[in-house]
Amino acid sequence: MNAAGETAVVTGGGSGIGLAIARALADGGYRVTVTGRDEEKLRRTGFAHAVMDVGDRASVERAAAQIGPCDIFVANAGAALTAPALKTSDEAWNAMLSVNLTGVFLCARAVIPAMVERGRGRFIAVASTASVKGYAYSAAYCAAKHGVLGLIRSLAIELAGTGVTANAICPGFTDTPLVEGAIDGLKERTGRDEAELVAQFVKGNPMKRLIDPDEVADAALWLAGAKAASVNGQSIIVDGGETIA
DSSP 121-153: EEEEEE--GGGTS--TTBHHHHHHHHHHHHHHH
Quote the CA–CA distance of 176 and 211 in Å, as a whole number: 9
- Work out how many domains the chain is built from and give that number: 2
Provide the whole-model pTM: 0.94
Q: Is the Cβ–Cβ distance between 240 and 210 less than 8 Å?
A: no
- Same structural domain, 17 and 125: yes
| Average of per-residue pLDDT across 30-37 | 99
What pLDDT was estimated at residue 15?
97
Task: Determine, yes or no, domain membership for 241.
Answer: no
Same domain assignment for residues 53 and 75: yes
Q: Do residues 66 and 161 share a domain?
A: yes
Q: Are 30 and 3 in contact (CB under 8 A)?
A: yes
Check whether residue 70 and residue 87 sit in a common domain.
Answer: yes
Examine the domain organization and report whether 15 and 41 are in the same domain: yes
Residues 193 and 113 in one domain: no
> Looking at the structure, do residues 111 and 183 belong to the same domain, yes or no?
no
- Segment 20-30 shows an average pLDDT of 98
* pLDDT tens per residue across span 52-77: 999 999 999 999 999 999 999 999 99
Which residues are catalytic, by number? Answer: 141
Has residue 220 been placed in a domain?
A: yes
Report residue 184's pLDDT band, with 50, 70 and 90 as the boundaries: confident
**Rounded Cα distance, 170 and 223, in Å:** 13
Q: Can you give the CATH number for the domain in which 132 is found?
A: 3.40.50.720
Backbone angle region of 191, left / alpha / beta, with phi > 0 → left and psi within -120 to 50 → alpha: left
High-pLDDT (> 90) share of the chain, %? 87
Pairwise CA distance, residues 39 & 72, whole Å: 22
pLDDT score recorded for residue 230: 98
For 75-110, how does the pLDDT look when each residue is reduced to its tens digit (9 = 90+)? 999 999 889 999 999 999 999 999 999 999 999 999
Q: HSE-up of 9 (CA within 13 Å, CB side)?
A: 30
Say what the pLDDT of residue 71 is: 99
Residue 185 has pLDDT above 90, yes or no: no
Mean pLDDT of the chain: 96
> Is 37 inside a domain boundary?
yes
Same domain, 96 and 198: no
Domain that holds residue 128: 7-172+213-235
pLDDT of residue 211: 97
- Residue 175 banded pLDDT, cuts 50, 70, 90: very high
What is the helix (H) or strand (E) element at residue 7, kind and residue range?
strand 7-11
- The reply to whether 187 and 111 lie within a common domain is no
> CA-to-CA distance for 202 and 240, rounded, in angstroms?
10
Query: What is the model's pLDDT at position 157?
Result: 99
Residues 113 and 189 in one domain: no
